[in-house]
Structure 1
């Protein structure tokens, strides 16, 4: 098909604004021509004209979406008390079916907000994949590896490796779910475990998802012995392949240089970091050093939503406040963090940008709203400002993943939203 819109934002490096443009979707769900209608090749594909803005699907670079069923629990506690007193005890009661119900609800919520790819770190991979296959969302699923009561990190690690060896990294029927390794953090795993995770992931070109320096006190032992968490992870051999460091708040200049030198991406989660009073990540310093920084929501029990538009605004505001510079992050910067930079951070070159050959993961944003009262015939910078600062998830009308329409007029097309919400709600009611 050919989609035509008055505004197309390919989210290329320059954050170009294309006017009266088209996006061609090939039969295999990839992107063909993307550019002005005037330069489009002849095509006999059916044309659909959209009245708003077309852009790449957003990338949620860090999430624990099954935790939708824990939303609202312990919301006024700091990170470590929230984990040990509320989250971990509640998670111990979750059944595989509960986790699937939470993932279904989270996936629906994300797709309705234009998130077409999510980087998930949780348990029960089979049930996560089944939920994602039902909604049609793309994801990178890092099965959790953690050394806490009730969990055997070695068995978890071996299970991920065996599954990739048998099924390959892309494991669902549509090839939309990539398997990854999800070691929780330096403070919940031994150096030996982190070493073996790094070796296993590099051998399979798999992504490693790990929490890094999220709070000032959590990694005290590691900091005392190694100097910093990034230095520890380098010394024990976790770095060297595809690695995504979630949060990355309490970092020195030397730590940021460590991440940049190792090609480690970062997932910035400003909403969760603020709610848990964990701190403000040094995003501008990381970006200046060459670290690819994407945006994440974190879990819906610590945020408490899965809204990447909100994270764009928070990222820009916190960067400006922490540097006292109103230009520290502008609208174009955070839009790219939610798209192309997120793809780079997770080591993927097939999503995040509207360009020939990438997957046709697309979001149509409506403009019949006060956010666009001045219309679309405004300067490019003004248009991007209205999109980032004044619009939001409420204006997402249609979403495609791999050329398949998964949201139409703000509602999922493959699952019954009311049923999904009711099932997840029953889980929450039982846990309270």
Structure 2
């Protein structure tokens, strides 16, 4: 086993189940981009001839965004004061009907830059123009689980979309690219935009391939009233269609009964909790405490940059903590450690991934460096673990992210992308927006 580098930091947060704080620690990265060792420097294996990087801040796993439509970056701000269904039907879907492949590429590329700057190293994406989404992710160097979205709408055919995904997986593999950066998934939009037949066919296609199925679930009260009336609940509908036998990622999962939660827990489904977009669109907030108590794997999602409207996972951590505490009237309902694990280890578990989300031997070296030279860490690092964690999650957040590695390869340095011209990417999104955004939204 050959090491590529050793990274030494005064504090490392490995995102183990206890959310430990390691002092004066090192991370060893193999040449293949996976982790060889993470732990105290005093007991680390001796190495010779290996490049060593000495950091002054906190080293931790890259964050996992469990639900996003990042290529929507050119649509940011459209219909910002509308409820969900009006926002979708009257603003977003008409704009997306005009979207070209190069618009999606531009949106995804700039969105990847934004996510990397905020410390996201993995994003679960559901969108159209999936080949361009994949190309942009590979260019930026981010890890992405890409689910081509399909609907039962005029001019779209879910059967051909389903067939195309299966063919793509069979030809390129479920995971591909440097350090397996891309994973292909199935993206049935929701139970209310697809017939039962499509949901069953998705399950039949996904199970033998071991593919993740990424679907919107019970996001608002009104969207799937008919499905609830017929099947009892959306989870019961998915169960009848065989989708709970797949690697299922349920985005939002806001309006669930206790029985629904037990059903998801029993199936091993993961949930993408999106407190920011759910609050903005007045959809409600998921019962995070009940989901976690039932041992449902729950990660955090930003949702799209047109519905949130940023891609900041640290904001989602804070919102998740605040909403959980408000709903339960319990200040300990979700702690800073809990939120950090949801954004890392537990987010990876929600995606059915055990190779990301933590700094453990054998996992990919998806790593971020948090700078501690700002006012949020004025007390320094030689403080109690709980205070350090609070300063990181509550106070510092995305503004403190300095450097990012994906699969052992550095992709941002001092907050700037290494493989993308950020200014050029912003110009490309401006051009895409001029094509997509109706005159009424240009002022």
**Residue number in structure 1 paired with 2:192:** 187
2:17 is matched with which residue? 13
Q: CA deviation at 1:392?
A: 1.2
**Alignment match of 2:40 (pick from 36, 40, 45):** 36
Determine which of 84, 89, 94 is the counterpart of 1:89.
94
| Cα displacement string for residues 6-65 of structure 1 (whole angstroms, at most 9, x for unaligned residues) | 100000000000000000011111101100111101012111110000000000000000
Does 2:167 match 1:162? yes
Q: 1:59 aligns with which of 60, 64, 87?
A: 64
The one of 192, 208, 213 aligned to 1:208: 213
TM-score, normalised to structure 1, is 0.99
Residue number in structure 1 paired with 2:27: 23
Could you tell me how far apart the structure 1 residues matched to 2:298 and 2:396 are?
Answer: 22
CA distance in 2, matches of 1:93, 1:145: 16
Q: Which residue of 1 aligns with 2:441?
A: none
Q: For each residue in 1:115-134, what CA deviation from the matched residue of structure 2 results, as whole angstroms up to 9, or x when unmatched?
A: 00000000122111110111
Pairing 1:229-240 to 2, within 5 Å after superposition: 229-240=234-245
Q: Could you say which residue in structure 1 is the equivalent of 2:319?
A: 314
- 1:385-409 alpha-carbon deviations (Å, 9 max, x no partner): 1100001111100000011000000
How far, CA to CA, are the matches of 1:395 and 1:264 in structure 2?
A: 33
Q: 1:283 to 1:152 in 2, by over 3 A?
A: same
Cα offsets for 1:278-297 (capped at 9, x unmatched) = 00100110000010000000
Provide the rounded CA distance (Å) in 1 between the counterparts of 2:96 and 2:17: 41
What's the CA shift for 1:199?
1.2
Q: Alpha carbon RMSD of aligned pairs, Å?
A: 0.7
Among candidates 151, 155, 177, match of residue 156 of structure 2: 151
Cα distance per residue 1:142-182 (max 9 Å; x no partner):
11121112210000000000111111111335521000000
The answer to which of 255-264 and 164-173 deviates more is 164-173
- Figure out how many residues of one structure are paired with residues of the other and give that number: 432
Give the CA deviation at 1:323.
0.9
Within the candidate set 344, 355, 358, 1:353 is matched to 358
Structure 2: where are the runs of 5+ without partners? 438-443
SS at match of 2:390: helix
Q: Deviation per CA, 1:252-282, whole angstroms, max 9, x where unpaired?
A: 1000001001110000000000000000100
Q: Is the 8 A contact 1:64 1:122 kept in 2?
A: yes
Structural mapping, 1:21-420, within 5 Å? 21-44=25-48, 45-420=50-425
Distance in 1, Cα, partners of 2:436 & 2:239? 39
Take 2:61 and 2:347, find their aligned partners in 1: how far apart are those partners? Answer: 12
Report what 2:440 is aligned to. none
1:72-117, Cα deviation, whole Å (9 max, x unpaired): 0000000000000000000000000100010001101000110000
State the TM-score, normalizing by the size of structure 2: 0.97
Query: Would the aligned equivalents of 1:129 and 1:172 in 2 still touch at CA under 8 Å?
Result: no
